[in-house]
Amino acid sequence: MQSMTNADRIEQELSHAGRNAFTYIDVEHHTERPLTLNTYRPPTYTADRPVVFVQHGVLRNGDDYRDFWIPAADKHNLLVVAPTFSNEAWPGVESYNNGRAVTDSGSVRPTAAWTYALLERIFADLRASGVTTVGQAHLFGHSAGGQFVHRLMSSQSHAPFCAVAVGNPGWYTLPTFDHPFPEGLAGAGLTEEHLVRLLAYPLSILAGDQDTLTSDPNLPSEPAAMRQGRHRFARAHFYFEAGQREAQRRNVPFNWTLQTVPGIGHDGRAMSAVCASLWFEGRMPDAAELAAMASQHVA
């Protein structure tokens, strides 16, 4: 009897509406490291509706981040997929935030074996399953998930994604070869082509103007991070301005946007709602809506 493929499993698990969570194993590069796909399918979802990938923060709480997107999913008929990397199978910042780009011995893995590459394969399996027929997905990451997403865009194909946004990353991989990865792009097998492609992509950087705590234990505080600013809001500006400089220096297109989110701090729920409004309603929520969204510090 032929074993069930990932596409078969996805077709089976996403055949009904509602929340779900099931194991996904990348048989090509990470057979020993399962992850969980936390998903939500609205009752009226059809295969031609948008797919939104959501990347969780340091708490590895993909179930929470999936749930943050359920109101938007119901309103706009979206399929939500939150790939969740447990601390057990994907320990520490090196496995998740930094993508397992470098081995314990210091050698660099091929980019196809980096953690970030999993999203392209998951999306290909979603398409192969017939659950979706769209050609590209939306991609959002908050906090550590924002680190994951912008490093994915620095190193992987952009073909699977029609829109990408990061919210409140703790620090950034700068678009320069002046620093080694993960502070910059040097020493990781990345090329000028990767950099120019990144600068040209319409990457949206969402920065809560209240994300200014300097005492947060989850705020990266190593020297490379501190050089980017004292808190996350400052670091978002530092990254955006670094992108502007590198594009101007090369005379290449620069299509990033830096969107300040007023009144919001390190709040994954609120930033998810803001991103959904920008993508699917074409507008920033007004002050009253933002005040109602604000919840708490959610990594």
Structural domains of the chain, ranges and CATH numbers in brackets: 6-293 (3.40.50.1820)
Q: How many Å apart are CA 283 and CA 229, to the nearest integer?
A: 29
Q: pLDDT tens digits for 85-117?
A: 999 999 999 999 999 999 988 899 999 999 999
Residue 284: what residue type? M
Q: Is the CB of residue 40 less than 8 Å from the CB of residue 18?
A: yes
Angle at which helices 118-129 and 6-13 pack, to 10 degrees? 60
CB atoms within 10 A of CB 193: 8
- Please state the rounded mean pLDDT for residues 20-43: 95
Q: Is the CB of residue 233 less than 8 Å from the CB of residue 267?
A: no
- Give how far Cα 154 sits from Cα of 4, 15, 97, 99, 235, Å: 33, 34, 13, 11, 17
pLDDT of res. 294: 84
CB atoms within 10 A of CB 5: 13
Three-point CA angle 84, 21, 136, nearest 5°: 65
Asked whether the predicted pLDDT for residue 297 surpasses 80, the reply is no
pTM of the model: 0.97
Average pLDDT, the chain: 96
pLDDT of res. 89: 97
- Please state the rounded mean pLDDT for residues 51-71: 98
Asked whether the predicted pLDDT for residue 133 surpasses 90, the reply is yes
118 band by pLDDT with thresholds 50, 70 and 90 = very high
pLDDT of res. 283: 97
Three-point CA angle 71, 76, 82, nearest 5°: 60
Asked whether the predicted pLDDT for residue 3 surpasses 80, the reply is no
11 band by pLDDT with thresholds 50, 70 and 90 = very high
Q: How many Å apart are CA 2 and CA 260, to the nearest integer?
A: 51
pLDDT of res. 1: 44
- Please state the rounded mean pLDDT for residues 163-176: 98
pLDDT of res. 295: 75
